[in-house]
Every structure is written in structure tokens, then in C-alpha cells.
């Protein structure tokens, strides 16, 4: 089978020669550690995009379209800088404070502190909208014919946008504009503004991707949300049903009616209470199934069966603990699901720097035995 056939058939519970052998990516700090531990410098650590020959990973190919950034961008400016931190505004119009300690290749050891956002009320939202109302062609690759030729010729599963660099999602875009706290208050203080913003986002995204999905056959799309924390989602099922669900239905229907086989949702944290609503919307599956948030793929398969497919689910914390913990993790996570279909096991997010190269290679060797039978 080609990697494309294997990926699609696995997630659609169809016959395969074996499940895909994939991983997501590394932190830059992890790559720096592994280079010191003997990994070749040619390995970039972005495993899922096009795969990785060194470790034998399959991957996907992508057609990148800018669905997120305002155009023109807001001015990026440094407001304050010390030895410990930098305070700055970014192209999304947000004000952020970033710690500088341990930064590698632009990737920080901890998330930035987000201080201010461009949308505060209806007037600032309507000003921001203007930056998404320009010519769609400006958001497409300069060499569109080349992108179409690549998409036609690849034998990798093909996705629209790139999950590793961020794709369009509803909660994620609202969070970019208002911030988590501002958005949480706005659901209560001005729900009609949220509805107006969601209407605009659906219209914008469908207008943006119409040309792409009509000219290229895409295999899957990952809706990026990150709408949950450890103990549950940051929106209630009631808010999701009343505000988000109609837009999910419209978007998923548009994607699938234009040949996209699989629509997946990427959200960290625990979103279990929203799964029935995602299924109602037509979503096919989820990743990366963060185990620290109790997202257990065996439990989810037992509860939802073939109603959902899954990518991820291997506890990164277990991989950092060495061979015995790795063996136990694979025995309780991969072994029960490998023959069930609908599951591509990967470490449940980017691999952090507490995982050694030796432990990662041991994990891969054991995982390879389960998937390849050797």
C-alpha cells in the first residue's frame, strides 16, 4: 500500500497491510539534546511533515495557505527587553512577554504570557475584520501551479494547510483575537458579538479554501482548536451546541462535499464531554489525545468504537522513564488497539527534552515490533 492508502484506510477502519509508522515532532530543545547524544544533524525533528528517513517514519504532504494571519499584519515591535525577558507586539496584534532562558532556534522553554489582544469590543472586531477581507490570492502560494503538481504527484496523505504550523479553527481564531480570558467573558457579556465573529470566520474560511478544494483532492483536514485544559474544555457543551456546532456542520459538510475524506480535530487537554457534539458535526476523529489530561485511546475506543478515529495517545511521560515504563505503556495502549483499526499511535504531542535519544530509539524498536511484527 502507499502511505496515503495506509493512512486513510487505517483511520476509516478499512483493510490495511499494517498501520502507519508515524511520530509528530520534537521540541527544538529535544533536537539539541539528541544531536549531542549522536543523532545526525540532517534530522530536522519535524517528523510528520513528509516523514523522516532516519527513523523510518511515514508522513503527510501539505499545501500551505495562510488562513490565520491578518493582512496586513500588525506592526511587530519590541517594547522592552532585559536579560530575562522580552515584551513585544506580534503580527496578530497581541502583546506578549516571553522568557528568554533556554530558547533554542526561536522555541522557548515555556509559553509566553499574553497581555493584550486586538479585539476588545464590537468596534475593534469590525476593524480587525478588514484585515481578512482582502484578496484571497494573496494568501495562496506564489507558485500555485507547482503546488498543484506536487499535490497530484505525491503518494503521501495530503492535507490542506499544515497541522504543525497551525491551521484554521473556530475557538483558536477567537482566542487569537480576544485571548482566553477575554473570550470567556465575551460568551456571557456579548454572545451576539461571538455569533457575528463565527459567521464571519465560516464565510472567510470557505471563501479562502474554495479554490484549493476544487482544484486539488485533499485527503484530510485538521481543525486546530486547543480548546481544552487538563480537566475539561474551556467552553461548555451548551455553548458549543448553541454557538459552534452550526458552523462546524457547515464547514465539515463543505469539506466533505469537496472530496476531503477525513476531518479531524486537534485539541490538547480533555475534550471528552464535547465528543458527541463533534460526532454530530460530522468530525471523524481527534489527536493528539493528551494522556496527562486523561485522554485514553483504549477507553475512547471502548466507548465510541468506529464513530471516531484517533492519532496520538502514547504518554510522553512514560517514554521519558525508560524501557520498563515504555513496555508497560505500549502494552496497555498500542497492543489492545493495533488490530482494531481507526488508530495511529504517536507520542501525544511534540517530544519534550526530558526524553533521551536512547529511550526514544528503544520506544521505536518496541513499537516497530508491534506494528511490523518484527
Query: Taking the C-alpha atoms of 46, 52, 55 and 56 in order, what is their torsion angle to the nearest 10 degrees?
Result: 140
Q: How do residues 93-151 score in pLDDT, each as one tens digit?
A: 999 999 999 999 889 999 999 999 999 999 999 999 999 999 999 999 999 999 999 99
Same structural domain for residues 224 and 107? Answer: no
* Other beta carbons less than 10 A from residue 106's beta carbon: 6
For residue 125, give every residue at least 6 positions away whose Cβ sits within 8 Å of its Cβ, in sequence order, or none. Answer: 119, 177, 193, 196, 197
Same structural domain for residues 81 and 226? Answer: no
CA distance 174 to 195: 11
Same structural domain for residues 100 and 188? Answer: no
The average pLDDT across 164-171 equals 93
The average pLDDT across 212-218 equals 98
For position 116, what pLDDT does the model report?
Answer: 98
What does the block give as the cell for 263? 476531518
Same structural domain for residues 266 and 170? Answer: yes
Same structural domain for residues 143 and 235? Answer: yes
Same structural domain for residues 108 and 125? Answer: no
The average pLDDT across 8-13 equals 98
What's the mean pLDDT when you consider all of the chain? Answer: 97
CA distance 374 to 360: 18
What does the block give as the cell for 36? 549531542
Query: What's the DSSP call for residue 112?
Result: P
Same structural domain for residues 125 and 184? Answer: yes
The CATH number assigned to the domain holding 48 equals 3.20.20.210
The average pLDDT across 280-301 equals 98
What does the block give as the cell for 61? 504532504
For position 19, what pLDDT does the model report?
Answer: 97
The average pLDDT across 26-33 equals 97
pLDDT for 311 beyond 90: yes
Would you place residue 229 in the very low, low, confident or very high pLDDT band (cuts 50, 70, 90)? very high
Listed residues 86, 117, 148: the one ending a domain: 117
Same structural domain for residues 11 and 104? Answer: no
Strands 262-266, 232-233: pairing is unpaired
For position 166, what pLDDT does the model report?
Answer: 84
Is residue 85 helix, strand or coil? strand
Please give the share of the chain, as a percent, with pLDDT higher than 90. 98
Q: How many domains, in total, are found in the chain?
A: 2
The average pLDDT across 250-277 equals 97
Same structural domain for residues 88 and 63? Answer: no
pLDDT for 165 beyond 90: no
The average pLDDT across 301-317 equals 98
In what helix (H) or strand (E) does residue 336 lie, and over which residues does it extend? none
The average pLDDT across 30-46 equals 97
For position 290, what pLDDT does the model report?
Answer: 97
Cα radius of gyration (the chain) = 21
For position 374, what pLDDT does the model report?
Answer: 60
Same structural domain for residues 141 and 229? Answer: yes
Same structural domain for residues 170 and 183? Answer: yes
Single pTM value for the model = 0.96
Listed residues 84, 117, 150: the one ending a domain: 117
Task: Provide the domain limits for residue 306.
Answer: 3-72+120-372
Same structural domain for residues 240 and 348? Answer: yes
Beta strand spans in the chain (E): 61-63, 77-81, 85-89, 95-99, 113-116, 158-160, 220-224, 228-229, 232-233, 262-266, 285-287, 309-314, 343-347
Listed residues 83, 117, 151: the one ending a domain: 117
The average pLDDT across 334-356 equals 97
Contact in structure between 109 and 170 (CB atoms under 8 Å): no
Amino acid at each position: 500500500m502507499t502511505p496515503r492508502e495506509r493512512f486513510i484506510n487505517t483511520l476509516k477502519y478499512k483493510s490495511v497491510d499494517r498501520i502507519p509508522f508515524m511520530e509528530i515532532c520534537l521540541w527544538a530543545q529535544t533536537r539539541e539534546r539528541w544531536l549531542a547524544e549522536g543523532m545526525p544533524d540532517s534530522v530536522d525533528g519535524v517528523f510528520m511533515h513528509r516523514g523522516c528517513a532516519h527513523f523510518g517514519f511515514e508522513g503527510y504532504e501539505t499545501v500551505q495557505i495562510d488562513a490565520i494571519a491578518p493582512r496586513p499584519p500588525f506592526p511587530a515591535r519590541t517594547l522592552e527587553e532585559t536579560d530575562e525577558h522580552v515584551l513585544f507586539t506580534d503580527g496578530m496584534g497581541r502583546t506578549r512577554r516571553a522568557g528568554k532562558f533556554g530558547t533554542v532556534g526561536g522555541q522557548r522553554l515555556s509559553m509566553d504570557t499574553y497581555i493584550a489582544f486586538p479585539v476588545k469590543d464590537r468596534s475593534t472586531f469590525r476593524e480587525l475584520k478588514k484585515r481578512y477581507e482582502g484578496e484571497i490570492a494573496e494568501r495562496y502560494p506564489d507558485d500555485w501551479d507547482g503546488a498543484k503538481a506536487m499535490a497530484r504527484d505525491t503518494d503521501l496523505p495530503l492535507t490542506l494547510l499544515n497541522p504543525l504550523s497551525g491551521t484554521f479553527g473556530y475557538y483558536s481564531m477567537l482566542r487569537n483575537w480576544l485571548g482566553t480570558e477575554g473570550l470567556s467573558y465575551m460568551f456571557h457579556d456579548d454572545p451576539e458579538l461571538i455569533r457575528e465573529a463565527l459567521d464571519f470566520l465560516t464565510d472567510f474560511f470557505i471563501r479562502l479554501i474554495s479554490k484549493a478544494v476544487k482544484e486539488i483532492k485533499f485527503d484530510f483536514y485538521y481543525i486546530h482548536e486547543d480548546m481544552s485544559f487538563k480537566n475539561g474544555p474551556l467552553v461548555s457543551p451548551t455553548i458549543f451546541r448553541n454557538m459552534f456546532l452550526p458552523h462546524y456542520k457547515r464547514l465539515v459538510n463543505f469539506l466533505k462535499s469537496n472530496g476531503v475524506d477525513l476531518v479531524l480535530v486537534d485539541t490538547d487537554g480533555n475534550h471528552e464531554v464535547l465528543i458527541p457534539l463533534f460526532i454530530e458535526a460530522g468530525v471523524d476523529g481527534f489527536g493528539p489525545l493528551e494522556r496527562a489530561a486523561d485522554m485514553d485511546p483504549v477507553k475512547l475506543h471502548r466507548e465510541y468504537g468506529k464513530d471516531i478515529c484517533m492519532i496520538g495517545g502514547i504518554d510522553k511521560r512514560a517514554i521519558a522513564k525508560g524501557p520498563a515504563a515504555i513496555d508497560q505503556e505500549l502494552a496497555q495502549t498500542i497492543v489492545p488497539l493495533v488490530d482494531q483499526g481507526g488508530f495511529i499511535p504517536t507520542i501525544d504531542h511534540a517530544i519534550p527534552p526530558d526524553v533521551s535519544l536512547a529511550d526514544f530509539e528503544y520506544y521505536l524498536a518496541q513499537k516497530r515490533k508491534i506494528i511490523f511484527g518484527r
